[in-house]
Amino acid sequence: MVPLQSRRLERAQLLQKINHAIPATGLLVAGAQAFTEGAHGVALALGAVEIGTSAMLMFTLARGFRELGRRRGPAAHRASHGVDWIDIWAAGVLFAEAAERWHLTHHLSRPTILTGIITLALGVFHDRIRARIQRRRAVRITAEGIYVGAKPFRGLNAQWPDIASISITGHVAEVRTRTGRVRRVDLADLRNPEEVRAAFAEGRKRLAALNARDALPAPGVGS
């Protein structure tokens, strides 16, 4: 099994997290106003929390984009372990936003709190979630056939007798079934193109060996 480590997917996932910066900006302004207006007690403490969580979220977002540009090769991808601090600080922003609403209106914003809990869980269990996704987005070659992962319901899972061809042309690897299904992989988009290329080459070699064996005449035929 070889994972498909897509740069495009990493960028898309990080861009989705930019939405967290919208409430963070508002909280940062609210926290700054609390200090400039001479707030004290609970209001002052809440302002400090708002500034701290918002600033840390923006910092981790900026660091995420910087690291995304610096990562090179599969080793850098595998080194990204642990929790997702962007989600954790985003949850902090949501909890601070809920606390701000409660302080001003004494109304408990349950949707915001629920979203914060879900976001916190996504950050804490980041490694487990990523591992599950990675098992789906991979190339697997077995004695029965080949699996090329993709988005849900778009992967290809075919047994060897059902495969018409496996090819590698330039930066594109392709599996084509006898029923016309095609799954292409853009090797130029991957952080581990050589590993994936080797997996497809192994699959092509196995398919050629099976086709050659099937082409042999049965024992006793032609004698």
pLDDT tens digit sequence for 110-141? 999 999 999 999 999 988 888 887 778 899 99
Which residue did the predictor score with more confidence, 195 or 128? 195
For residues 200-212, give the mean pLDDT: 92
Mean pLDDT of the chain, nearest integer: 86
Q: Quick one: pLDDT band at residue 151, thresholds 50, 70, 90?
A: confident
* pLDDT for 104: 84
For the chain, give the percent of residues with pLDDT over 70.
89
Model pTM score: 0.69
Distance CA 185, CA 139 (A): 10
pLDDT over threshold 90, residue 153? no
For the chain, give the percent of residues with pLDDT over 90.
49
Q: What is the per-residue pLDDT across 161-188, written as a single tens digit (0 to 9) for each?
A: 999 999 999 999 999 999 999 999 999 9
Domain residue spans of the chain: 2-135, 137-215
Q: What is the per-residue pLDDT across 140-150, written as a single tens digit (0 to 9) for each?
A: 999 999 999 87
Beta pairing partners, 172: 169, 186
pLDDT over threshold 70, residue 17? yes
Q: What is the DSSP string of the chain?
A: -EE--BHHHHHHHHHHGGGGHHHHHHHHHHHHHHHHTT--THHHHHHHHHHHHHHHHHHHHHHHHHHHHH--HHHHHHT--S--HHHHHHHHHHHHHHHHHHHHH----HHHHHHHHHHHHHHHTHHHHHHHHHHHSEEEE-SSEEEE--STTT-EEEEGGGEEEEEEETTEEEEEETTS-EEEEEGGGBS-HHHHHHHHHHHHHHHHHHHHHHHSPPTTTT-
Architecture of domain 137-215: Roll (2.30)
